[in-house]
Chains A and B, each alone.
Chain A
Amino acid sequence: QQQVKQSPQSLIVQKGGISIINCAYENTAFDYFPWYQQFPGKGPALLIAIRPDVSEKKEGRFTISFNKSAKQFSLHIMDSQPGDSATYFCAASLKGNTPLVFGKGTRLSVIA
């Protein structure tokens, strides 16, 4: 049973466009929702994260939108750049430093 469902599997965006990746979760006890960025040959790096008491969080060009009633959260990358081309993973965890559960990932390609 997949606890975090991520879509799309792959995404191609023009430079300067908006990249949108969506995730849906099932467990209402999840308390922490991060997004990770992974480049080939590297470990995942934390991009931005949100907790369920907030509906939106913005850091630079990256924004998380969170819809608690729909059990969905999304990552928006504004003004997408070729350097943003990577695999993005959403994840979730319960309270108390429990391990992360990951979505299947989205491979983003930003083309000039």
Chain B
Amino acid sequence: SAVISQKPSRDICQRGTSLTIQCQVDSQVTMMFWYRQQPGQSLTLIATANQGSEATYESGFVIDKFPISRPNLTFSTLTVSNMSPEDSSIYLCSVTRTGGVGYTFGSGTRLTVV
């Protein structure tokens, strides 16, 4: 299965600022997804990162708040913009490939907004 490097692993940010999270995969993948996991909760899909086009966002998530890029088949970024304490969560990148084995997750970015 694919190996994902997600950076940073954790950060503490001031409210009103932005943080960009990177997801680098060791091989080309078909699909890349971004999830949010609030403390003690399950995973909620933020968006599907589409290569070469705008991401597809789930209800409750908007591009202005969570801009996503996917310039190629191995890399994506998620930006959390104009942060507030409610954005404190773990953000996870997930990938899958056609014919591959399941969906792989990165180790996550633990974000604390103060």
Contacts and interface: CB of A to CB of B under 8 A. Distances in A.
B103 A103 contact: no
Contacts of B6: 43
A97 B31 contact: yes
Interface of A: 34, 36, 41-46, 49, 89, 93, 97, 99-105
B92 interface: yes
Interface in B66-82: none
17 contacts: A41-B107, A42-B108, A43-B4, A44-B43, A46-B1, A46-B101, A46-B104, A97-B96, A97-B98, A99-B94, A100-B43, A100-B94, A100-B103, A102-B42, A102-B43, A102-B44, A104-B41
Given A46-B102, A46-B103, A99 B42 contact: no
Contacts of B14: none
Contact of A105 (B4, B42, B103, B107): B42
B30 interface: yes
B108 A99 contact: no
Given A49-B102, A97-B31, A99-B33, A43 B42 contact: no
B108 A103 contact: no
B42 A89 contact: yes
Contacts of A93: 103
Given A89-B43, A97-B30, A102-B42, A44 B98 contact: no
Interface in B40-72: 41-45, 48
Contacts of B98: 97
A102 B1 CA distance: 20
Given A89-B42, A99-B33, A100-B94, A43 B105 contact: yes
